Amino acid sequence: MKMYRMLIVDDEEIITDGLMDIFSSLDLNLDLYKAYSGQEALSLLNRTRVDIVLSDICMPGIDGLELMGNIRQSWPQCKIIFLTGHNDFDYVYQAIQAPGVQYVLKNEGYPKLIEAVKRALKDIEEAMHVKDLIRQSREKLNILETLAQGDYFRFLFQNGKMQDLEEDFERLHIPLNPFLPVLLVLGNLTYFNQSSHSYSDRQESALAVKFLAETFLAERTVSMGMIDRYGDMIWLIQPDQPSEEGGWDYEQTVMFLEGTFELIQQACLDSLDVTMAVTLCSQAITWESLPVSYDKMRRQQHFRVGDGNLMVQKVQLNEAAAYSSVSSARDRSLHTKSEALAIHLEAGRREEFLRLFDELTVQAAVEERNGEAYLTELYYALSLPIISYINRWEMQDKVGIFSLLQSKVYRSWAESFILLRDSAELLFSARRSGERNRAAHVIQKICSYIEEHIAEDLSLVRLADVISFNPSYLSRLFKQEQGVNLSEYIEETRIRKAKELLGMEEIKVAEVGARIGYESPQSFTRLFKKLTGITPQEYRMSFENSHGA
């Protein structure tokens, strides 16, 4: 179920809180946020993507029109609904000149406002149906040129030779600027029904992801997407124009990318049956550091939390690290397949690894009559990726390397191949266990943060900042690990803490709400009664009577 974010902005607290209560009670799949000024709204918009902004048009300080201008700069796909009064004609006249903006008179009532929000949600849903966009993108881009550009960048990643970039970019029609830093984004793709996807199917799907993404990215950036040697996506991205102050605002571009890749992930899921875990470098890098940065980001992506689906993770890179050379290409078929096994193992693709492994080892009985030499070569070609993986990720405690190096200690070649296969299964199992353990650790960190900061901002956006995840993924991961929604957990924690405070006579009832994060005593009383069935005052009286008894 897709969840969209809506921000409610009004300088009158009673209106903002009232709208929050109304929309919270509706089943619209909205993640709601509120702000009591245009400046507070901008603070949130500078931290995360918002899909719908419902705002008073006439406010002190930053008014609705100025807020709209900032939204258009940061989140061009955001839908805007203005609340207006009869005396706001000049404001309304300017607002209706902008596309994608609705306005509702304040005296038209909640039904009219709810209808406007539903219309905005419908517009967003229609925009997410991107099959036509994919087709249009394919018509505009030359596939052969796309593949040539991908080959060129894979060469750069592998060899690290950055001479003559300007000439190469011009000849290959690469839109990036070779004199400016670049942002690097990795997309780890997972296909539904993997067993039915051939190599060409996966290539076609990956290209579709590339074209789809560029439709979204073109609104604010210049980008170049390609398929890496593991079958995943790489994007190289630069801002499309200098900022108003001059120079190139990469920080603002990173924020745009974090929110936009959430939309790209959802579009890939809806239109292509492909999920994608995204790793985004949080600062621009030089072209010379591209190979080492790519290697570091792949390593970071390997240690993701949970399954990574629909995750957008920002990472910081240290460009001073030495770059390790890659192995040379292998010509013989067996070595090529051994490298493919290493790729599948590295990427966590269990089914594809085992399918290729079985393809090679099923022939072992047939090849046995051709002599020991081939079987020995086959055994070590298969064991090398496993041993390399064990060493690379320091998993010696999971699988003993010494036994893998001793092919002669087994009674038959078939037994030795079974050991290799079982060892690989252990590694895949350990990887999944590691993902689950890291997920549990992160959720425990969030729970501890909630306990320690119960009176502070505990919005999904704030909690996502604590662990550097995107809000949507944190929400999904928390529900997956804890079995309850994050918002429900926060409410339950606050009520539990409120009960503890209500049991202390020296603390006034009116102060309890403020101590657990409720600025308005009325909001605290309303929530407490909703979850417990009684008011805070009634709970205190009941507690005192029970304690006295």
What pairing do the DSSP bridges indicate for beta strands 221-227 and 183-191? unpaired
Break the chain into its structural domains and give their ranges.
4-128, 131-315, 333-432, 453-548
Q: Using an 8 Å Cβ cutoff, are 290 and 184 in contact? A: yes
Measured in whole angstroms, the distance separating CA 281 from the mean position of its chain's CA atoms is 12
Q: Could you read off the pLDDT of 118-129 as tens digits, one per residue?
A: 999 998 888 776
Lowest mean pLDDT across 108-117, 131-140, 203-212, 252-261: 131-140
Structure tokens at 359: 């393809």
Number of other CB atoms surrounding residue 114 within 10 Å: 15
What residues does 233 pair with on adjacent strands? 187, 227
Q: Could you read off the pLDDT of 235-274 as tens digits, one per residue?
A: 999 999 887 777 888 999 999 999 999 999 998 988 888 9
Helices H / strands E in the chain, number of each: 23, 10
DSSP output for 221-269: EEEEEEE-TTS-EEEEEEESS--TTSS--HHHHHHHHHHHHHHHHHHHH
Write down the CATH superfamily of domain 131-315. Answer: Reverse transcriptase/Diguanylate cyclase domain (3.30.70.270)
Q: Could you read off the pLDDT of 293-347 as tens digits, one per residue?
A: 888 888 887 777 777 778 899 888 764 333 333 333 323 357 668 888 888 898 8
DSSP code of residue 287 = G
Give the integer Cα–Cα distance in Å for 382 and 405.
Answer: 11
Fold of 453-548: Arc Repressor Mutant, subunit A (1.10.10)
Whole-number pLDDT of residue 320: 36
Give the integer Cα–Cα distance in Å for 34 and 7.
Answer: 5
Q: What percent of the chain has pLDDT over 70?
A: 86
Residue 94 CB partners (closer than 8 Å, separation 6+): 65
CA separation, residue 40 to residues 62, 74, 526 (Å): 10, 15, 25
Strands (DSSP E) found in 248-335: 274-281, 312-315
Q: Could you read off the pLDDT of 186-215 as tens digits, one per residue?
A: 999 988 765 556 777 888 888 889 988 988
pTM greater than the 0.75 cutoff: no
Whole-number pLDDT of residue 134: 62
Q: List for the chain the helix, strand, coil content (%; round to 5).
A: 60, 10, 30
Any idea which residue has 């229609």 for tokens? Answer: 126
Q: Could you read off the pLDDT of 2-11 as tens digits, one per residue?
A: 789 999 999 9
What residues does 83 pair with on adjacent strands? 56, 104
What residues does 292 pair with on adjacent strands? none
CA separation, residue 394 to residues 91, 335, 355 (Å): 63, 24, 25
Q: Could you read off the pLDDT of 355-380 as tens digits, one per residue?
A: 989 888 876 554 555 567 778 888 88
Q: Using an 8 Å Cβ cutoff, are 9 and 38 in contact? A: yes
Measured in whole angstroms, the distance separating CA 532 from the mean position of its chain's CA atoms is 36
- Please give, one letter per residue, the 3-state secondary structure of 442-477: HHHHHHHHHHHCCCCCCCHHHHHHHHCECHHHHHHH
Architecture label for domain 4-128: 3-Layer(aba) Sandwich (3.40)
Residue 388 CB partners (closer than 8 Å, separation 6+): 342
Q: Using an 8 Å Cβ cutoff, are 308 and 188 in contact? A: yes
